[in-house]
A = this chain, B = another copy of it.
Amino acid sequence: MTISIHVDQIEVPLKTGIDIRNITDRLSRIVSESNITEGHLSATVVGSTGSITTIEYEPGVVSDLKRAINELAPPDREYAHEEAWHDGNGHSHVQAALLGPSISVPVRKGRMRLGAWQQVVLINHDNRSRKRTVEVTVIGAG
């Protein structure tokens, strides 16, 4: 088997946080274009107030996850980040750091291998709308 690599990026306009967006279809398209059949995909959000994970993307879970994230670092507390920067997004930085910026998704038979009810989501934690870049690296045989 010859191993190859395919790099790409997607840009996703996100609303004021917490905004949770399903990016599965866009990642799937990159896997198709890569012609890689067996390997894995790494996706990493560029910027320190975004994160990536997987969920069952339905309105209930989206709402429940927002509540939980806002309890990890509530927007209405005081943050030391504000003392220097006064941009009101101290909670955004903490939330994003706890969730983490990257994920690895298996590629099998030329497609991402996820559960039937499992989607990859990009989260904007920032207190303003942001266009987020996700860097995507697919490595494997094909």
Contacts and interface: CB of A to CB of B under 8 A. Distances in A.
Interface in A80-104: 80-85, 90, 93-94, 96-104
B81 A64 contact: yes
Given A42-B104, A47-B118, A100-B99, A68 B60 contact: no
Contact of A94 (B64, B83, B97, B136): B64
Given A84-B58, A101-B103, A5 B68 contact: no
**Chain A facing B: main interface SS:** mixed
A26 interface: no
Interface string A5-47: 1010000000000000000000000000000001110101011
Given A46-B118, A60-B82, A61-B90, 12 more contacts: A5-B139, A38-B137, A39-B137, A47-B117, A48-B118, A54-B101, A56-B81, A59-B84, A64-B81, A68-B73, A68-B98, A104-B137
21 contacts: A5-B140, A7-B38, A39-B139, A40-B137, A42-B104, A44-B104, A47-B118, A48-B55, A48-B56, A48-B115, A48-B118, A53-B98, A53-B101, A55-B97, A59-B80, A61-B94, A61-B97, A64-B79, A64-B94, A106-B137, A108-B135
